[in-house]
Amino acid sequence: MPGRIFISFEGGEGSGKTLQAQTLHERLWAIDVQAKYVHEPGSTPLGTYLRDYLLRKPRLSREAELLLFEAARAELVISEIEPSLRAGFTVIADRFEASSIAYQGYGRNIELGVIQYLNAFATRGIYPELTFLLDVDPAEGLRRVGSPQLSLPLEPGDAVQPGRADVEGQRRFEDLPLSFHERVRDGYLNLARGDPDRWIVIDGTRTIADISNEVWRHVSKRLKLPENAGTIHIRSKS
C-alpha cells in the first residue's frame, strides 16, 4: 500500500488529539498502510528521560525548557522519523515542531525566529506536510483534562489560580493562567492561517467519530486511498 507521508496532530490541553492520532494509526494499519506513531516528548530513550525530567522539575528557565523539547525532537527525528519515512512508512506525530512555536513562542513569549531556527536544526528540515489542529476553547479543554500529564510549570510571577498541585507539588495544567492557554490557541490558529495547504483546523468539540472521519477524508485523499477503506477502532479515552 502507498504510504510515506508525515502527519502531525496539534492542539491545546484536552483537545483529544492523542486519541485521534492513535485512531488514524490503527486505521492505516487495518488496510496495511505501514504507519509509525510517535509522541513528543517521548518515543526515544532520551525523549522519555526528558519527559520524566520535565515532569519532575517545576521551575526551569524558558530557554532551557525550549532546548529540552528541541533535544527530544532532534533525537526523535534522527532515530525514528527519518528512518521510518525512508522505509516508506507514514509517520504520525502527536505534537511536533508547532508545539514549540505555540507553547514556548506564543505561550512563553520566546522570539518566534529563535524557535524557528532551532526547529529547523532539530528537525533537519523535515516538517509534516499535513497537520491537524484540534481546536478547543481552552476553558473547555482544561475542564476535560482529568488524568496526570506532563505539565508546564508556572513562571515566577505568574498569577496562580486556585487548583490542584500533584503529589510532587508540581502545578498542573489547570493551574496555569487561562491567558497562557489562550495565547497557545491563538498561536496555533495563526500558524494554521499562514499555511492552509498544510493545516486542517477541526473543531475539537465535534464527536470523536466525526473528527476521525474528517481526518480520514484528508489523509485518504493525500495517500490516494479509497475514502471508505478500513474500519474505525475508537479507543476509550486514555
Q: Which residues bind ligand TYD (CB under 6 A)?
A: 13, 18, 40-41, 69, 95, 99-100, 103-104, 149-150, 152
Instruction: Please report how close the Cβ of residue 88 comes to ligand TYD at its closest, in angstroms.
Output: 25
| Angstrom distance (rounded) from CA 217 to CA 164 | 40
What minimum distance in Å lies between the beta carbon of 217 and ligand TYD? 24
User: Least distance to ligand TYD from the beta carbon of 225, Å?
Assistant: 27
Q: In the complex, what is the shortest distance from the CB of residue 3 to ligand TYD, in angstroms, rounded to a whole number?
A: 24
Bridge partners (DSSP) of residue 165 are 171
Nearer to ligand TYD, 40 or 175 (CB): 40
Nearer to ligand TYD, 103 or 216 (CB): 103
Is 187 or 230 the residue whose CB approaches ligand TYD more closely?
187
Backbone phi, psi, residue 119, to 5°: -60, -45
The whole-angstrom separation of Cα 121 and Cα 132 is 23
Closest CA to 99 of 10, 38, 176: 10
Least distance CB 173 / ligand TYD (angstroms): 6
H-run or E-run covering 202: strand 199-203
- Nearest approach, Cβ of 238 to ligand TYD (angstroms)? 9
Give the helix ranges, DSSP H, for the chain.
17-30, 45-56, 62-76, 82-86, 97-99, 112-123, 138-144, 178-194, 208-222
Evaluate whether 147 touches 19 at the Cβ level (below 8 Å): no
How far apart are alpha carbons 113 and 172 in whole angstroms?
29
Minimal distance in Å, beta carbon 61 to ligand TYD?
Answer: 14
Find the angle CA(140)-CA(171)-CA(150) to the nearest 5 degrees: 75
Indicate the residue among 115 and 130 with the shorter CB distance to ligand TYD.
Answer: 115
Nearest to 166 by CA among 157, 155, 175: 175
Q: Which is nearer to ligand TYD, 3 or 106 (CB)?
A: 106
Q: For residues 30 and 64, which CB has a smaller minimum distance to ligand TYD in the complex?
A: 64
Nearer to ligand TYD, 90 or 123 (CB): 123
What is the number of the residue whose Cβ is closest to ligand TYD? 103
